[in-house]
Amino acid sequence: MQIFPESRFDVIVVGGGHAGCEAALAAAKMGAKTLMIVQDVDHAAYMPCNPSIGGPAKGTLVREVSALGGVQARAADASAMMMRWLNTSKGPAVRALRAQCDLHDYHDYYLRELTSCPNLRVFQDQVEELWIENDRLKGVKTRFQLAFEAPRVILTTGTHLGGRVHVGLVNFASGPMGQQPAVNLSKSLSSLGIDMQRLKTGTTPRLYRDSIDWSGIEMQEGETTPVCFDLWGQKKIYREIACGMIRTNAETHRIITDNLERSPIVHGEITGTGPRYCPSIESKVMAFPEKDSHPIFLEPVARGSVEIYVQNFSTSLPFDVQIAMTRTLPGCKNAVILRPGYAIEYDAIDPQQLSLSLEMKKLPGLFCAGQINGTSGYEEAGSQGLLAGINAVLSLRGEEPLVLGRHQAYLGVLVDDLVTRGTKEPYRMLTSRCEHRLLMRHDNADRRLSPIGRRLGLLSDQQWDTLQRRWEAEDREVELLKNTHLSPSATAPVLEREGREPLDRGISAAELLRRPEMSYEKIAPLLSGERLTGEAAANVETAVKYQGYIDRQQRSVEKMLRLENMKIPAGFDYGELTGMLAESREKLEKVRPATLGQAGRISGVTPTDLQHLAVYLSERQRREKRS
């Protein structure tokens, strides 16, 4: 192995996907001398699956990355061809923004950020093994027979670890979209005693645009009002492209069913567990035989590209079957496939081996983020990468790690679920996973997380000043609504327009706004002076309309925090607890929860054993205070 003077760094990031890019940029911006080793620089921040960012829950993660000082939201805005709000009728807790992106522009934006960032070096090579000396992490060793030294290493290997692609019964070692697999690194991790698991994901056939008959296809277009992901971005109307909306049919399902014996899933060639919430089309047909159709979206992948992504049509069936079933879709009678769909199996770690900072418990200094932790999706990867980069630097400084609570961020829920409960299938972020989602909305990510980003040095003075002015204006407006008294004669015209009876008493503007039929826009003319517009107006409306629900959820959080604040010592010996069930003790020793609250979320730990642990810890704390 060759070691050069310039091969010593503070942090090494292995992998250049969404997690790797965010991790490297965060570490470098926090002042660490950082190296990102990527197999192919031209595939940094590549989108091997659907070229879109956001959607339910995922869009909130992107907004949280922005609030903390990450890049993904800006990359999405810079590359967006179309943006849409989703779940608009279901309330602010689940309202989500989604962007259809140009995958080339998205990659280009990240690459410019990476190559222009001070303290960050990008190097093209493949990491073959971790460099361990005297049972301590020293760095990494590469295919070029180079050794790079760093006390902190972040693994963001995506689906490359032991990657194997399947198209029908044909399979071969490969990373995504024909990239190289990483075989030796997977073996290196296993040899160190790190528990690995086999997972599977997949992608759809891509079609030539001009082989599709678009004349009878219903098109979905973007918002007609300006939007953006980044908190400091310039809102625009993104309607450059439209997406086709079609459905599978009985003939599609017949072809799939008739060829299931040629599926590598049915045939047993694929052993990895696939994603529950984004299954292949053949898995859907098998799982829901009573359904006669499934929705499909035809989505452009880049400006001026001939390529169309067939969303919700992921498959690993043989190529001839892919052709046949594709040509049963509306408008696709003569469709020509540019790239076949495929399944890819890969190695991931058991995430219960990580602490809540994403550091490997049995190998301090090693952090993991993204699909190596068992997650799926660009947004889940990017947010984990940002957190891992932050915590790698904080650990270098000897400072406490950044651990986000389940009440603070979707990212906090994501990490807690992985570390505490583990996952045996690719994990996807869902709003239903978040018990405090009314407190963790898309619109308040800045208030929740930007003070943390500012403290870490990831937000500039200008960004911070912009936020403070925005918050002050919104807070003033909320107070104005609470303190403005409206007479019955003032409210009568507004109520009449909504078909409501006039009031017999005066009420505050806030009370009027809380009525279901009212909005901020409707009552703004009753207030003096210039009023807020756009996102600021929507934020004020949410704060007033949902105040009671927000207060109730906040009380629930305070109750939960009493358990979270009861710390469990890092080296706690669960053998001290007599009478605990063997399963509970085994799970607690594996996860090593940091708090009583985290212990209570471990599957298999009974309420009785949790109470036993709480009593023991309380008594122990009292003894320590007396001594």
- Same domain membership, residue 192 and residue 97: yes
Cα-trace Rg, the chain: 26
| Three-state DSSP state, 341 | coil
Residue-wise pLDDT for 331-382, tens only, equals 999 999 999 999 999 999 999 999 999 999 999 999 999 999 999 999 999 9
Mention every residue, 6+ apart, whose C-beta is less than 8 A from residue 55.
Answer: 86, 96, 98
Query: Same domain for 160 and 25?
Result: yes
Q: What is the CATH number of the domain that holds 532?
A: 1.10.10.1800
414/332 same-domain check: no
The residue that leads in pLDDT, 80 or 525, is 80
Distance, in Å, from the CA atom of 282 to the CA atom of 260, rounded to the nearest integer, reads 8
> To which H or E segment does residue 614 belong?
helix 607-626
Q: Is there a domain that residue 217 lies in? A: yes
The residue among 404, 434, 455 that closes a domain is 455
pLDDT tens, position by position, 578-607: 778 888 888 888 889 988 888 888 888 887
Is residue 213 included in any domain, yes or no? Answer: yes
Of 328, 343, 358, the residue that ends a domain is 343
One domain, residues 213 and 196: no
pLDDT attached to residue 561: 82
Higher local confidence (pLDDT), 600 or 159: 159
Please state the φ and ψ torsions of residue 211, each to the nearest 5 degrees: -95, 0
Task: State whether 288 and 192 are in the same domain.
Answer: no
Summarize pLDDT for 463-490 with one digit per residue, the tens: 999 999 999 999 999 999 999 999 999 9
Q: For residue 32, what are the contacts with CB-CB under 8 A and spacing of at least 6?
A: 9, 10, 11, 119, 152, 392, 393, 396
Query: Could you tell me the CATH number of the domain that includes residue 575?
Result: 1.10.150.570
> Same structural domain for residues 38 and 150?
yes
Q: With 90 as the cut, is the pLDDT of residue 178 above it?
A: no
Residue 358 lies in a domain: yes
Do 129 and 215 lie in one domain? The reply is no
> 592 is in which domain, residue-wise?
565-626
Q: Does residue 354 share a domain with residue 449?
A: yes
CB 293 within 8 A of CB 302: no
- 558 located within any domain: no
Counting the structural domains of the chain, the total is 4
Alpha helices, DSSP H, located in 174-313: 184-191, 250-258, 264-267, 281-287
Are 39 and 126 within one domain?
A: yes
pLDDT at 200 over 70: yes
Answer whether residue 48 is part of any domain: yes
Distance of CA 95 to the CA centre of its chain: 16
**How much is the average pLDDT of 236-257?**
96
Q: Which of 421, 455, 489 is the last residue of a domain?
A: 455
Question: Of all helices (H) and strands (E), which one includes residue 471?
Answer: helix 461-483
Question: The domain that contains 216 carries what CATH number?
Answer: 2.40.30.260
**pLDDT confidence bin for 617, thresholds 50/70/90:** confident
Span between the terminal Cα atoms of the chain, in Å: 54
Q: What percent of the chain has pLDDT over 70?
A: 99
Question: φ, ψ for residue 360 (rounded to 5)?
Answer: -70, 125
| Inside any domain, residue 560 | no
For residue 627, pLDDT beyond 70: no
Give helix 445-455 / helix 461-483 axis angle, nearest 10°: 150
Alpha-carbon distances, residue 578 vs 365, 395, 429, 566, 612 (angstroms): 34, 35, 38, 20, 9
Phi and psi torsions of 337, nearest 5°: -85, 125
Q: Is residue 559 part of a domain?
A: no
pLDDT of residue 623: 78
Mean pLDDT rounded to a whole number for the chain: 93
CATH number of domain containing 12: 3.50.50.60
Q: Is the pLDDT of residue 245 over 80?
A: yes
- State the average pLDDT over residues 599-621: 82
389: left (phi over 0), alpha (psi -120 to 50) or beta: alpha
Structure tokens that stand for 421 in this block: 């409960």
Between helix 58-68 and helix 445-455 the angle, nearest 10°, is 40
Whether the pLDDT of residue 409 is over 90: the answer is yes
Same domain, 274 and 141: no
Residue 273 binned pLDDT confidence (cut-offs 50, 70, 90): confident
Judged against a pLDDT cut of 70, whether residue 268 lies above it is answered with: yes
- Strands 34-38 and 11-14, sheet pairing: parallel
- Looking at residue 481, its pLDDT comes to 94
| Average pLDDT for 508-537 | 90
The answer to whether position 220 is within a domain reads: yes
> For residue 624, is pLDDT > 80?
no
CA distance 280 to 276: 9
Structure tokens that stand for 184 in this block: 């030796």
Q: Is the pLDDT of residue 221 over 80?
A: yes
Do 331 and 352 lie in one domain? The reply is no
pLDDT band at 620 (very low <50, low <70, confident <90, very high): confident
For the question of whether the overall pTM of this predicted structure is more than 0.85, the answer is yes
Closest CA to 235 of 23, 536, 546: 536
- Alpha-carbon distance of 568 to 592, in angstroms, equals 9
- Across residues 115-119, what is the average pLDDT? 97
437 and 356 part of one domain: yes
